[in-house]
Each structure stands twice: as structure tokens, then as C-alpha cells.
Amino acid sequence: MTEKEEAATPPAGELLVCGATDYWAIGRTKDVRADIYPNLQLPHKFKAMQGIRVSFIAAGSSAFHSVIADTEGRCYTWGRNDKGQLGLGDTVTRNVPTLVPGLKGKKVVGGGCGRHHTVIFTDDGESYSFGLNTYGQLGSGAPAKKLAKGAEDMHLVPVKVVVGKVSAVGVGAEFSVWLSEGKLYSAGLPQYGQLGHGTDGSYNAADSSVKIVFQPQYTPKLITALAEKEVTRLACGQNHSVAVASDGGVWTWGFGGYGRLGHRVQQDEYKPRLVETLTGRLVVPPDAIVAAGQTSSFCSIVGGQLFAWGKLKVSGDNLMYPTPYLELAGWDIRSLACGSTTFAVAATYGAEKSTITWGHSNGYCELGYGPGGKKSSANPDKCPSLEGVNTYQRMAKAGPEDTLSQVAMGFGHSLFLVDPDHPKVGELPVWDVAAEDAAAPANGTTSKSGKAAAAPAGKRKAAGAASAGARKRK
């Protein structure tokens, strides 16, 4: 196989999941039905995905759902679906990966998750989105008609984004950014200046009112401040963005709280601003590792050293400008993901291969340290069950569309993409959601009422016991 052929071959990984399994209950209720949907303390293989090789995984710092694609480009979603963010034509929560029928025939190669919406793109540069569209975050253009009073603008099936030749997407809580031929386009909520268009889009609801509202941006608009640059890397947090240009510049904009923009002040930026610390002798390569979380940002420089800024810990000082993240000094970071208050990397140190997680867990065991392990960790630490497991190396000569996320962090859950042939992976427990009582089966079928059929109580209990048994096996 030639180098070119190898670069064009999609990775074929095994999907692992960790943390919460009852997505309906995350952050909403203490009634997590732990006998049926336990928090997975170890990374588990997904029974519903066994035999299916995965090429990309994504979640998001504000997302209660996930999106993945297999090596054939078939797209699967699962998690909370109250706003149609799974794209399955309804608002029924799924706790197992379910094929998105509206993307049949499309080869999905990447995407991301917002709070209540999902954006994907295909190998031919088309982009589709689904879920809540209150502020135009789906990027599908202005609505054809005015909604009835009290109705929400939701698209339960994929709609086409009016941006072509897409090679990467960044998805914030209520906004989206597309990378097309080196240029950035954004749509959604303009609050904090997170769209990068020079304004926060705010105005008074009425002449006699002090209530502030924000003008939705339904049609993706070019971010003109970077129009003369060739953008090569992109990451979105909940309310801010980070971009890398081919000339090595790092640009940030949006919500400036806690120093997450890296400009030494807690000030919102309405359009991209160059991060001055990462200039001069600190050279940022066009293919740098970048990530953005709820209140933090990361970027690597030539040589691999990772820099971080913003609020990285629940307590302690904020990093107001990019600072070397010494806890990971010397590691070759291959993938980095941010949850709401948690982080994960796939990295190597010489011949050592590790999956490393840290942060303040939301109580769902999403850091994957195993039974008896820490629930939270102030500093990066290895996931013992994945120590030595091969991860997929980021293709050095590839563009953004070929960058594989081997780790993904959502709210209360985490995903890992690993070598399916490694002996340790074969020994990992299997998560079998055979008793799905609040969601449709994996094939997306539902009962005549439109709701997923519930399993009998006896079977639910038995399945819960089986899952508990699976978790004990190593």
C-alpha cells in the first residue's frame, strides 16, 4: 500500500464507552435507574456496535448525546433527544447507537454535537444538521414560515447546510462554525460575539422594555476577520472558538470569562483576535492539536508541547494566557477532547501508549479509572484498563477532514476509539442495553404509537444484573 493509499484509508476502530448510560437522566434527576443503566466505571465495548468498525467519534462539552460514523460512512447517534438532536424523526431518547436514516447514501466523515443540535459533514464536502434551530445554529438558512406562538424551531431529520466544500466543523452550545476551503462560516446565537462577526447581535425587545434579546443568524456568514487567512484547525467550546491559520497564528473569539481566550483579560471578543503569546519563538504548526471546553482552550506548538489557558480546575487560579501544560510535557498528543469539566487525551511517550483523563467528574465515572478508582482527578492520570492499547496516529500530511478523534468527551460520558485487535480490548467488559425501556432498539424501529417498546420489568431486572456481571469481568 502506498503512502497516499494509506492516508486515504479510514481508520477502523473499536468504540468504547464510559460514564453515564441513562442519557435522559444526566443532569436532570437522581432517578438514574442504576439497576438498568449503571455508570460504567471502566471503558466498555458497546454490544450494539460489535463487529462494526468506527472511523470517527464526537460528543461535546455541553452535549448529552454523541455522533459517530463507521468505515462505510454510515452515521449513528444516541443520547438525549428532547429537541430532535439525534436526527431520527422523533424526540425519543436512545441509549444505543442508532442509524440515522435521513443520511442513507451519504458517507459521513466528521461532525460535532452542541447542546441540542448536531452537525456532520460528508466525504464530498456536504454538511447536514439536525435538532434545535432557535438561533439558526443548524445553518440551513432562514425559516420558510413563521412558527406558531410557543412552538420551537426543531428539525427532527437532517437538513442541508448552505455551506459547501466543508472539511471540518466546530459546534458550540448554540452556534456552529464550518471550515470550507480555508475559510470560516458561522451561524447561530451571536451572544458574546461567538460568531466572530464583530457584534453580539443584541437589541431591546421593545422600546419600553429593558429585556435584551439576540438576533438569530440563520444563514452561515463568512468570518471576514480571517478571510485573508487559510484556516487549518478549528475547535469550539460552549461559547468561544479557537482557530489556527496556515501561517501559525492562533485566533480566539467569543466569551472571555476566566481567560479562555488567552488575551490576559476577561473580555468578550466579537471577532477573531490573534493570541499574542503564541507568536514569535513559539511556533504553532498548521496541524496543531486544538481543543476548547466549557471554560478552557488548548493548543500544541512545534515540538509537541501543549499549552493551555482558561479555567481548567473547579478551584484555583485561572490561566489568563497560554501556559505550558507541564503535566503532559514530553507526551506526543494524538487526540484531545474536552467535556464540561473533564478532559481526555490519547498520547504516546516513546513506546508507551496511554489514554489519559482528568478533571472534575460530574459523578458519572466518565474518567474511566475503574471500580475503586478515583471519581475525579485534579491532574492527568492514565486509564489502567487502556494502558498500552494502540491508538490511531493523526495523519501528519492530511487535512482537517482526515484528523481522527480517538477520544471524545460529552457531559457525563466519554468515548474512546481503539485498536480492535489489541488483546486488552478483547478482555474489556461489554455493555449490553438489551433492556432498553426508554428508547428505540438499535435499528431505530418503534412501536405503532411512535414510542419505543418497553421491556417487561423482569427482563429489565435481568439485564441490569447481566450488565453488573459484565462490569466485574476484566
Domains of the chain: 3-472 (2.130.10.30)
pLDDT digits (tens, 9 = 90+) for 109-122: 999 999 999 999 99
- Assign 363 a pLDDT band (cuts: 50, 70, 90): confident
Mean pLDDT of the chain: 86
**Residue 170: pLDDT above 50?**
yes
SS3 278: helix
pLDDT digits (tens, 9 = 90+) for 273-325: 999 999 999 999 999 999 999 999 999 999 999 999 999 998 888 999 999 99
Q: What is the pLDDT of residue 150?
A: 80
The larger pLDDT score, comparing residue 341 to residue 393, is at 341
**Residue 387: pLDDT above 50?**
yes
Q: What is the pLDDT of residue 392?
A: 54
- Assign 210 a pLDDT band (cuts: 50, 70, 90): confident
Helix %, strand %, coil % of the chain (to 5): 10, 35, 50
Q: Provide the edge-to-edge strand list for the sheet that holds 183-188.
A: 166-171, 175-180, 183-188, 217-222
Round to whole Å and give the CA distance between 279 and 242.
15
Q: What are phi and psi of 265, to 5 degrees?
A: -135, 155
Q: Are strands 212-214 and 413-418 parallel, antiparallel or unpaired?
A: unpaired
- Assign 441 a pLDDT band (cuts: 50, 70, 90): very low
> Which stretches does DSSP call E strand in 369-429?
377-382, 407-409, 413-418
- Residue carrying the nine cell digits 455493555: 431
**Residue 356: pLDDT above 70?**
yes
- Assign 377 a pLDDT band (cuts: 50, 70, 90): very high
SS3 276: helix
Q: What is the DSSP letter of 162?
A: S
pLDDT digits (tens, 9 = 90+) for 123-144: 999 999 999 999 999 999 988 7
Q: What is the mean pLDDT of residues 200-228?
A: 92
